[in-house]
């Protein structure tokens, strides 16, 4: 293929990708800036009466500032869930790579099953009720960790395999025990892949709609995604406030992804070649 053709194909791919992102975002922005009557038409046009700030204020004030409580809940949920995923996922990945056993094939099958098999909602609710975890934030944290651990283990195991075993042996000779070996020697070397896991899983947990809906019902427990119900009903939907809400809860994760996109790519490809 000629260089000019390659360059043209790449340029078309970038243009198409940009359009696929900017067009939906532009529609959300313009809808969020309209008044209720104009927004009800659901047309992709520039607002005649630009009132984005007023719509955002109304979104925050809705139902006694429910969105602020939802942001707090989502932040606690995201930070706690991702922290546990990183700690447990890195430890599991290290043990699977450094201490192979007859159970490894079974464990690998279970890890892959966590990515393939969809969660069973009703049995999970029954188990949570029997353990007193249903409708609790810490119960939902455990759910998010369980559902996100497979991706974390697979991502980190590929990176752990690139760390020379001589580092482990040198630390053991110096008198390091298992926990000191992992947390003082191995864990700091996982920085790039940890950034990848943190960003990807933070976006997933923060934007999760299904799990909070099923396992954490109630207004006091609402997360940011569930606040979308504030402006929808069977009879009436306030589209300008609905899209303003979508815009507000989208910006934090969008900014996070833009700032850390290079680290995401570096972490995903760092374990691609073992060396």
Model confidence at 275, pLDDT cuts 50, 70, 90, reads very low
Instruction: Provide the domain count of the chain.
Output: 1
Structural domain includes residue 59: no
What pLDDT is attached to residue 274? 45
What pLDDT is attached to residue 147? 92
What pLDDT is attached to residue 74? 94
Structural domain includes residue 107: yes
- Mean pLDDT for 81-108 is 91
pTM score, whole prediction: 0.86
What pLDDT is attached to residue 269? 59
Model confidence at 244, pLDDT cuts 50, 70, 90, reads very high
**pLDDT tens digits for range 178-226:** 889 999 999 999 988 898 899 889 999 999 999 999 999 887 888 999 9
What pLDDT is attached to residue 117? 85
- Mean pLDDT for 166-175 is 88
What pLDDT is attached to residue 3? 77
What pLDDT is attached to residue 1? 64
Question: Of 125-129, 144-148, 223-227, 257-261, which range is least confident?
Answer: 257-261
What pLDDT is attached to residue 246? 93
DSSP labels for the chain?
Answer: --HHHHHHHHHHHHHHHHHHHHHHHHHHHHHHTS-HHHHTT---S--SS--HHHHHHHHHHHHHHHHHHHHHHHHHHHHHHHHHHHHHHHHHHHHHHHS--TTHHHHHHHHHHHHHSPP-HHHHHHHHHHHT-TT-HHHHHHHHHHHHHHHHHHHHHHHHTTS-HHHHHHHHHTT--HHHIIIIIIHHHTHHHHHHHHHHHHHHHHT--HHHHHHS-SGGG--GGGGGGGGB-SS-B-HHHHHHHHHHHHHHHHHHHHHHHHHHHHHHHTTSS--
In our burial notation (b when 16+ CB lie closer than 10 A, e otherwise), range 157-170 reads bbbbeebeeeebee
Structural domain includes residue 53: no
What pLDDT is attached to residue 263? 65
> Does residue 151 carry a pLDDT above 60?
yes
Structural domain includes residue 8: no
Structural domain includes residue 21: no
What pLDDT is attached to residue 69? 92
What pLDDT is attached to residue 178? 86
**pLDDT tens digits for range 6-63:** 888 888 988 888 888 889 899 999 999 999 999 998 899 999 989 999 999 999 998 8
Structural domain includes residue 2: no
Structural domain includes residue 3: no
CATH at 240: 1.10.3720.10
Structural domain includes residue 42: no
Domain that holds residue 158: 64-269
């Amino acid at each position: 293929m000629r260089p000019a053709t390659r360059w043209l194909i790449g340029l078309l791919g970038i243009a198409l990708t940009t359009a696929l992102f900017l067009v939906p975002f532009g529609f959300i922005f313009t809808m969020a800036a309209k008044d209720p009557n104009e927004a009800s038409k659901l047309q992709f046009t520039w607002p005649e009466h630009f009132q984005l700030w007023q719509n955002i204020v109304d979104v925050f004030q809705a139902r006694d500032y429910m969105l602020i409580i939802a942001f707090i809940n989502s932040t606690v949920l995201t930070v706690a869930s991702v922290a546990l995923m990183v700690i447990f996922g890195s430890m599991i990945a290290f043990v699977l790579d450094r201490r192979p056993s007859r159970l490894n094939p079974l464990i690998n099958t279970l890890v892959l099953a966590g990515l393939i098999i969809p969660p069973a909602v009703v049995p999970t609710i029954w188990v949570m009720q029997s353990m007193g975890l249903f409708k609790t934030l810490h119960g939902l944290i455990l759910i998010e960790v369980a559902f996100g651990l497979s991706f974390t283990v697979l991502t980190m195991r590929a990176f752990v395999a690139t760390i020379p075993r001589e580092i482990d042996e040198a630390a053991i000779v110096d008198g390091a025990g298992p926990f000191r070996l992992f947390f003082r020697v191995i864990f700091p070397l996982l920085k790039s892949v940890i950034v990848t896991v943190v960003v990807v899983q933070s976006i997933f947990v923060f934007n999760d709609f299904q799990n909070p809906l099923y396992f954490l019902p109630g207004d006091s427990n609402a997360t940011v995604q569930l606040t979308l119900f504030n402006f929808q009903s069977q009879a009436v939907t306030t589209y300008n406030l609905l899209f303003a809400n979508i815009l507000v809860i989208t910006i934090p994760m969008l900014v996070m992804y833009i700032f850390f996109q290079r680290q995401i790519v570096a972490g995903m490809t760092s374990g691609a070649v073992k060396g």
